[in-house]
Amino acid sequence: MNFHETVMGKTFFQGQLPKLIQVLSQIAQALNAPRPAVLVQPEVPPDFLAELYHGNFDPSDVPETQEIADSNREISRFQETLRAALPESVWEQIETYRDLLDARSIRQSEQAFTAGFRCASTMLAAGLSAPPAGGVAAEKGQKDAKAD
């Protein structure tokens, strides 16, 4: 007696095999057309990163570290010592100089933050995108061919 002639064989071929084929077909379809892992807004405000940097968008409230608190106390003590030792006109010049340095530091930090955020976003998008049809080597070959 052959397997397909037994009760178990008939159960397998009539019930389980069609379900197995259906599931394998669904898996194959999912692999051929993967859904995007993330839906990205089509429009991001041009000042989003600057607003994020300046604290107008705060996804979490991070407490100050002990190192930063210690540095702030040390800076305050040093400023008090300087202020007591210098005439008012010199102190005003130092304040103006410090304001200029702070403004430049903010612009540099904002630029570095924007560059880092864009790099991280690009890395994330590259990791979530579908791989090229022929693999990375095929994509590289296409880029090399375009360069020629």
The residue ranges of every structural domain in the chain are: 66-128
pLDDT given for residue 125 in this prediction: 82
Report the pLDDT averaged over residues 5-29. 89
User: What is d(CA 130, CA 43) in angstroms, rounded to the nearest whole number?
Assistant: 22
Report the pLDDT averaged over residues 42-48. 72
User: Whose structure tokens read 């807004």?
Assistant: 41
Closest alpha carbon to 52 in 125, 116, 126, 101: 116
Residue 38 clears pLDDT 80, i.e. is over it: no
pLDDT given for residue 146 in this prediction: 65
In terms of C-beta distances under 8 Å and separation of at least 24 residues, what long-range contacts does 2-11 make, across chains too?
A: none
pLDDT given for residue 53 in this prediction: 77
Amino acid in the structure at residue 33: A
Residue 49 clears pLDDT 90, i.e. is over it: no
Residue 60 clears pLDDT 60, i.e. is over it: no
pLDDT given for residue 67 in this prediction: 93
pTM, rounded to two decimals: 0.44
3-state SS assignment for residue 120: helix
CB 69 within 8 A of CB 77: no
User: What is d(CA 92, CA 148) in angstroms, rounded to the nearest whole number?
Assistant: 61
% of residues, the chain, pLDDT over 90? 37
Residue 42 clears pLDDT 70, i.e. is over it: no
